[in-house]
Amino acid sequence: MEQFVVSAIKYRPLSFASVVGQSTIGATLKNAIQRGHLSHAYLFCGPRGVGKTTCARIFAKTINCLNPGADMEACGECESCRSFSEGRSYCIHELDAASNNSVDDIRMLVEQVRVPPQIGKYSVYIIDEVHMLSAAAFNAFLKTLEEPPSYAIFILATTEKHKIIPTILSRCQIYDFNRITIGDIVSHLKDIAKQERVTCEPDALNIIARKADGAMRDALSIFDRVVSFCGSNVTYSAVIEDLNVLDYEYYFRLTDALLTHNYVESYMIFDEILKKGFDAQHFVSGLNSHFRDILVCKDVQTISLLEVGQVIAERYKRQSAECPVDFLYEALNITNKCEMDYKLSGNPRLLVELTLLNLSYIGTEKKNESSEHNSSEVKPESKTEHSVVQRKAEAAPIPEAPKSISLKNMMSEVKTENEVTENAEAAGEKTFTMEKLVLEWKSYAESIKTQLPRLSSRLLEHLPELVSEQLVRYPVISEQYREQMEKRSTDLVNHLKKTLSPSIAVEWIVREINSENDDKTRLYTPKDKINYLASTNNIIDGIIRDLDLDYR
């Protein structure tokens, strides 16, 4: 039985042309070789599995090739190329900095640099995961990296450039590798599947590419796993089953239910997803992305941003024709807010179900208002009928008709209340009392208790202060606390504007806060605590004075 070789090793690129998704970097390195503009140190940085170490090996092989081609690719036939391919080259050295990160390891490398190459022009030292070197090892490496022998070239590779000290960065030419696009991954997987005689559905390869998250090595590993599961025929349904991926079909069904305002159906779809073992937060994130993908299908200029298979893309186009832009805008706002509030929620499932309920009622208010407007239009009367009605109206008092409960009437009442409030403020009258402020403040805090329990408890810690008719102050204990409250208090301010005054504002001030039931000030800083201990214990006060101690 032939020994199996994983695709990531079997199909590792052997030339710059075969490296997927890094054509710019490949062209730059080939031009440098052709013109003889070689640096003594390079830094290849970028995400995992995008070809950093592979490009370093190809570069090292090419600059030592005895007969490079016109396109500056290694010939693969000379002694230097054969020794590299067979793993016996003494000109190319690789060091794994993750396991060789001490000062002694770097000193051994420095000693090795003194030996010139036996075959070829350069001794190339590839140091992988260079960010794992210790600080002392970095410092021991500085001098050699800055002034190496003319035949020595260093290629450093890392996934975390920010962990490398600036003195190392300043001595290297830096190449930033990009994440590989879904289209490039799919195209490469098609070529490999053809060589392996495996039939693959395009949508199945697209799922693998999306799961790889821009890393070709991950995509090849997932491809091997899927082939082991499916055999020689890789289908979309088998891939989502093997990788436990949430099928697009759920989102299409859910969107159809939301467009018809069928919240019951949306609840049942969500329950079905949970029973299959999917995380609710993952579901919300996917729904958010689904609405985004529908939105980009609304225009031919943005449809290129859709990164799905051809069959799924056609379904997105069809559903985008049924979804108004207003619906998508509101839906994205609602799902995005749910995604942000998910980790703070004490009952995540209820939060998602409330989100689905809100999504189900998008557009219903406009429909109700439109129908009410149409029903209020009365057929024109004749002149005679109008005069009779007018005389009757002048002769008898008109009883007040009961108001119908509708969104239009409610908005009209709110508008009237706001006008009254503004007139009262202009006249200098006080529009609300401290008791009314406290009542509305606590009412808002109680309304968010289920979804945002931490924010609710913070708002109930102390009573707000009524500074003026337009300003309310609330004390907080730190600057960080103040910044958090400012970011999350938009809904609170809107609530107070609606219920108290349209010109009201809330100011969060940092100061020491006295407990409502205790006259003693809370102790927050080390100085406060030491002063309190000294005032309550004469021994501690004496020790502080005798030894001239200070707090830190």
Least confident interval from 123-132, 185-194, 312-321, 460-469: 460-469
For residues 537 and 127, what is the distance between their CA atoms, to the nearest angstrom?
62
pLDDT for residue 155 is more than 90: yes
Distances (CA, A) of 226 to 20, 185, 216, 233, 483: 21, 15, 15, 10, 48
pLDDT for residue 309 is more than 80: no
Backbone φ/ψ region at 362: left (φ over 0), alpha (ψ -120 to 50), beta: beta
What is the pLDDT at residue 552?
57
Query: Which parts of 430-484 are beta strand (E)?
Result: 465-468, 471-476
pLDDT for residue 313 is more than 60: yes
| Digit-coded pLDDT (tens) for 62-81 | 998 888 888 888 888 888 88
Every domain of the chain and the residues it spans: 7-176, 182-243, 248-365, 434-510, 522-552
CATH topology for 182-243 is Helicase, Ruva Protein; domain 3 (1.10.8)
Q: Helix (H, G, I), strand (E, B), or coil: what is residue 63?
A: helix
For residues 145 and 317, what is the distance between their CA atoms, to the nearest angstrom?
55
DSSP one-letter code for 427: T
Confidence of residue 243 (pLDDT cuts 50, 70, 90): confident
Architecture of domain 7-176: 3-Layer(aba) Sandwich (3.40)
And the tokens for 305? 């941003």
For residues 385 and 402, what is the distance between their CA atoms, to the nearest angstrom?
24
Confidence of residue 127 (pLDDT cuts 50, 70, 90): very high
pLDDT for residue 514 is more than 70: no
DSSP letters of 200-269? E-HHHHHHHHHHHTT-HHHHHHHHHHHHHHHTTEE-HHHHHHHHTPPPHHHHHHHHHHHHTT-HHHHHHH
What is the overall mean pLDDT for the chain?
Answer: 81
What is the pLDDT at residue 154?
93
Domain range 434-510, CATH class: alpha beta
| Digit-coded pLDDT (tens) for 187-222 | 999 999 999 899 998 888 988 998 888 889 999 999
| Digit-coded pLDDT (tens) for 396-409 | 444 444 444 444 45
Confidence of residue 452 (pLDDT cuts 50, 70, 90): confident
Tell me the three-class secondary structure of 525-549, residue by residue.
Answer: CHHHHHHHHHHHCHHHHHHHHHCCC
Per the CB < 8 A criterion, the answer to whether 515 and 524 are in contact is no
| Digit-coded pLDDT (tens) for 331-355 | 999 999 998 888 888 888 999 999 9
Burial of 452 (0-12, 13-18, 19+ CB in 10 A): buried
Q: In what order do the strands lie in the sheet with 41-45?
A: 92-96, 123-128, 152-158, 41-45, 173-176
Number of alpha carbons in the 13 Å side-chain half-sphere of residue 400: 2
CATH topology for 248-365 is Zinc Finger, Delta Prime; domain 3 (1.20.272)
For residues 112 and 109, what is the distance between their CA atoms, to the nearest angstrom?
5
What is the pLDDT at residue 333?
92
Q: What is the dihedral of CA 64, 67, 69, 72, to 10 degrees?
A: 20
Mean per-residue pLDDT for 166-181? 91
pLDDT for residue 433 is more than 50: yes
Per the CB < 8 A criterion, the answer to whether 464 and 438 are in contact is yes
Of 539, 543, 465, 455, nearest to 504 (Cα)?
465
pLDDT for residue 449 is more than 90: no
And the tokens for 22? 């890094």
| Digit-coded pLDDT (tens) for 315-326 | 888 898 888 888
Of 456, 430, 414, 440, nearest to 493 (Cα)?
440
Mean per-residue pLDDT for 177-195? 91
For residues 380 and 34, what is the distance between their CA atoms, to the nearest angstrom?
88
pTM score of the predicted model: 0.60
